[in-house]
Structure 1
Amino acid sequence: MIAFYAPLKAPTHEVPSGDRAMARGLMAALTPFGRVAVASDLRSLDLAGDAAVQARLKGAAEAEVARLVRELPVETQLWVTYHNYYKAPDLIGPAVSAARGIPYVQVESTRAKKRLTGAWAGFAAAAEAASDAAAVIFYLTERDGETLARDRAAGQRLVHLRPFLPRAELPPASTLAEGAPMLAAGMMRAGDKMASYALIAELLGLLDGDWRLEIAGDGPARAEVEALMAPFGERVRMLGQLGAPEMSDAYRRAGLFLWPGVNEAFGMVYLEAQAAGLPVVAQDRPGVQEVMAAVQPAVASGAQGMAAAIVALRDAGLRRERGMAARAFIADRHLLGAATATLASALGVEA
């Protein structure tokens, strides 16, 4: 058995997100090696840097460690932790793994030694200690790989695991029909997500001709997003939060996928859109560009650069060429089989 833990957001969490999707995908990629079970659903997240919250979470984690040392099945052969970082450190895995004598590995961990002072100092130290304890850390982007290599513990292995979709084959392709709407998808919350929505509103104001945009997503900032899109009237359609089948339908009827990706680590929606054969218009940002089949407009070009990319994709031939290239790109390196092969090679197991 493989014990799986995601301190930021458990795979069983009720709110959809890229983190939840990636956690579920990792469980699927590990399944060929044996049964994968969620070891704990304790969420160690502290967004505010609150000492009282951190103390409470540490206490809860100590209780979970004691429980798991007693109750973890004897056939457990590996512990995998997904997304250990200073706001949501793994306070459980290293202690349980050491007590039970099982290998401990991490996926998508980040190092942040500058956080060892300040409001998250204790949590940052715990995240660093957890990273030090890992025999192997799988990193998803080259930027994360650089910081992990800088602070790597002695004897620790670092392995590049490309972001992937939890499916073995590509989904049905979009028809890229003439006049098909553009599609954007993102949670509606303050901060980076709203910055992406603001960029979209700005570039829409630069577009001429007959265009339509569908937006999938919901959240506490929905009213602000609706206000940004209000000047465009019926040309912008708000779809709300969609389940997987409805999201697949949205990809299939779209003509291109639009999302700036402000400060995104990489973005699962980019993989989903390209798998459906959609050309993507984003920005050339670290992490984001690593999962793109085509080079994206420079950040410095702002809304104008993205608008120009959209105008270029009005050419049906280019649109279809980019869509086919996107599907081939995902099939080659970003599906379940590739992820399982990488994990198997690094962990020395057979699927």
Structure 2
Amino acid sequence: MPRVAFYAPMKPPTHPVPSGDRAFARALMAAITTGDTEINLVSTVQTHDSKGDPARQDILRAAADAEATRLINQFATEPPDLWVTYHNYYKAPDFIGHAVTSALGIPYVQIEASRAKKRLTGPWGAFATAAEAAIDAADMVFYLTANDLITLERHCPPRQRLINLKPFLPHDELPDAADPARNRPRMLTAGMMRHGDKLGSYQIIAETLACLNGIDWQLDIAGDGPARPEVERLMAPYGDQVQFLGQLDAEQMADAYNHAALFFWPGINEGFGMVYLEAQAAGVPVVAQDRPGVRDVLAPGTYPAPEDGPAALASQITRILKDAELCRTLGATARKSIARNHLIGSAHATFWSSVTPLLDRKL
């Protein structure tokens, strides 16, 4: 029975605060699991530093080093057969997996690792150096988007394999289909209310709403967080046309998709966005900007470029809300794309067909 060690330095799958990172870490553990595989979350130590604070980085590094020592001792006589690290990058480097696999000779796999050579100097310099070293040490890196592949391929060590693992939902089958045309003019947005890129997407949404002239519309917003007061101020001019649903669990989100005519999220600097997969799986058309990462999970179609601004997004929304047949067609196309490319079965097959040679080599 293969024994797989799993670690997520950015945010463990057991973290109490929901996010795309947590959701995808959980999905990965489910995809890796088989009837004859034992997968264990071996550490919940987080190394994430969002502000570039060297003093905090020293504290995080010390905690990670202590954890690595503990695990090396724990696994000295019976190491796992494979180590998998999810989301190693310059703000959350994998000190632990790199140290443990080097010490014990365990095959080392990373999923959604990203390189950022420009960060080797500056406030994240030490962390970026560690993240690069960990990627260099990996036997195999699964990349999720074409954007991540660019730098991974450019700096790939000769022995390392790069494998495309398409972002996926942790389900074998699609959920029941919504009827988005029947839900017009109700739109849905879902995103954590954080400062930075998330708030930037909310800013674009507010500007887009101002361009929706001559049509009826209603926007439901699912999500919460420290930037909620700013989001509420952005939406205040639209009164009760915008409703705040708060933070929703999986069942509540499924209900929200089932009552939406379209899903609207611009997607500034999204890795890919689990919400896009969820909305499309329900048969809800997506309005988003054509951005790296985001485009890897959107159904075939035309999406406005960021430089086209809010007016282009408003034009697309208007077309969908006015045309019931278009709304249904886009939703059906999205649903077929998810079924074909983004369910757990295909992820499971890709993972195990790729890592089995590593296990055979170890054994």
TM-score with structure 2 length normalisation?
0.94
Q: Is the CA contact (8 Å cut-off) linking 2:79 and 2:104 kept in structure 1?
A: no
Q: Is the CA contact (8 Å cut-off) linking 2:140 and 2:161 kept in structure 1?
A: yes
Does residue 1:16 correspond to 2:24, yes or no?
A: no
Partner of 1:341: 349
1:74 to 66, 71, 78: 78
1:220 to 221, 226, 231: 226
For this pair of structures, how many residues does the alignment match?
Answer: 350
Deviation at 1:265? 1.6
1:313 to 300, 320, 341: 320
Matched residue SS, 1:313: helix
Q: Write the letter of the residue equivalent to 2:11.
A: K
Matched residue SS, 1:162: coil
Q: Write the letter of the residue equivalent to 1:304.
A: A
Matched residue SS, 2:80: coil
Whole-angstrom CA distance in 2 between matches of 1:51 and 1:202: 37
1:248-272 Cα distance to aligned partner (Å, 9 max, x none) = 1000111110001111121110000
1:250 to 256, 261, 265: 256
Q: State the percentage of identical aligned residues.
A: 57
Partner of 2:307: 300
Please give the residue correspondences for 1:143-222 in structure 2 after superposition, counting only pairs within 5 Å. 143-176=147-180, 177-207=182-212, 208-222=214-228
Partner of 1:330: 338
Partner of 1:62: 65
Q: Is the CA contact (8 Å cut-off) linking 1:289 and 1:295 kept in structure 2?
A: no
Q: Is the CA contact (8 Å cut-off) linking 2:222 and 2:246 kept in structure 1?
A: yes
Q: Write the letter of the residue equivalent to 1:347.
A: V
Deviation at 1:75? 5.9
Matched residue SS, 1:138: strand
Q: Is the CA contact (8 Å cut-off) linking 1:180 and 1:253 kept in structure 2?
A: no
Partner of 1:116: 120
2:38 to 19, 32, 35: 35
Partner of 1:131: 135
1:293-331 Cα distance to aligned partner (Å, 9 max, x none) = 122112121111001101111201111011111110000
* CA 172–95 in structure 1, closer or farther in 2 if over 3 Å, else same: same
CA RMSD of aligned residues (A): 1.4
Deviation at 1:180? 4.7
Q: Is the CA contact (8 Å cut-off) linking 1:178 and 1:316 kept in structure 2?
A: no
Q: Is the CA contact (8 Å cut-off) linking 2:183 and 2:260 kept in structure 1?
A: no
Whole-angstrom CA distance in 1 between matches of 2:216 and 2:13: 41
Partner of 1:49: 52
Whole-angstrom CA distance in 1 between matches of 2:15 and 2:39: 17
Whole-angstrom CA distance in 1 between matches of 2:302 and 2:84: 33
Whole-angstrom CA distance in 1 between matches of 2:249 and 2:225: 15
Please give the residue correspondences for 1:73-92 in structure 2 after superposition, counting only pairs within 5 Å. 74=78, 76-92=80-96
Q: Write the letter of the residue equivalent to 1:161.
A: L
Gaps of 5+ in 1: none
1:139-160 Cα distance to aligned partner (Å, 9 max, x none) = 0111111100111112100001
Gaps of 5+ in 2: none
Whole-angstrom CA distance in 2 between matches of 1:171 and 1:257: 16
1:200-243 Cα distance to aligned partner (Å, 9 max, x none) = 11111111322111000000011111111111111111000000
